[in-house]
Amino acid sequence: MNGNQSSEPVLFEDPMANYEPRVYSSDLERALGEEEVASIPSQPFVVIGPDATVRDALQVLADHKVSSLLVVEDGQLQGILTERDVLERVAERYPKVSERPVREVMTTNPTVVYETDPAAAAAAAIAVAGHRHVPVLRLDGSVAGIVGPRRMMTFIRSRDLG
């Protein structure tokens, strides 16, 4: 024990005493900072298995009029196939790769956001990192949806209350 204990009461200094809650300039800024990615429309989305052929994947893209497919196996995201992947890895050698599995031409390990991230994280993935298709995952890794510029714009318009 410390034999020099003072009988004077120790003054407790509350570290949060000077805390000032964040002030937002608008409802929209508050929404970006405090609402979760789950608030952004992220459906519908289209999935395909990694063993589907490139030809089938292109057909699915065209049939559904979408610009990306989430490649999912056993409920977990394996990658994403976007129009840009088709341009970069398929277009000039289509006869050679058309019957190959999607897993060989997809983007693996894509940037993702989680449902519980702030909405601004999705905006950053789109605008700062430059991804047009950002998968949205639940914390268990399962796929919840996909967001892109257009869905982000829908979210922003709905929160822009002036």
Greatest Cα pair distance, the chain, in angstroms, is 87
Q: Position of tokens 């049939």? A: 63
CA 48 to mean position of chain CA atoms: 18
Q: Is 141 left (phi over 0), alpha (psi -120 to 50) or beta?
A: left
Minimal distance in Å, beta carbon 47 to other proteins?
18
Chain positions contacting other proteins, by CB under 8 A? 26, 28-29, 32-33, 55, 58-59, 61-62, 67, 83-84, 86-88, 90-92, 94, 98, 109-114, 117-118, 120-121, 123-130, 132, 139, 148-150, 152-154, 156-157, 160, 162
Residue 10 vs 53, nearer CB to other proteins: 53
**In the 3-class helix/strand/coil scheme, how is 130-147 assigned residue by residue?**
CCCCEEEECCCCEEEEEE
In sequence order, which residues have a C-beta less than 8 Å from that of residue 82 and are 6 or more positions away? Answer: 67, 68, 69, 107, 132, 133
- Shortest gap between Cβ of 83 and other proteins (angstroms)? 4
Asked if 80 and 125 count as a contact pair (C-beta separation under 8 A), the reply is no
Nearer to other proteins, 16 or 129 (CB): 129
The residue among 121 and 146 lying less far from other proteins, judged by its C-beta, is 121
CB of 20 to other proteins, least distance (A): 15
Q: Return the number of the residue (51 or 153) whose C-beta is nearest other proteins.
A: 153
- CB nearer to other proteins: pick between 70 and 123: 123
CB of 90 to other proteins, least distance (A): 7
Q: What angle do CA 31, 29, 141 make, to 5 degrees?
A: 45
Q: How far is the CB of 156 from other proteins (least distance, A)?
A: 6
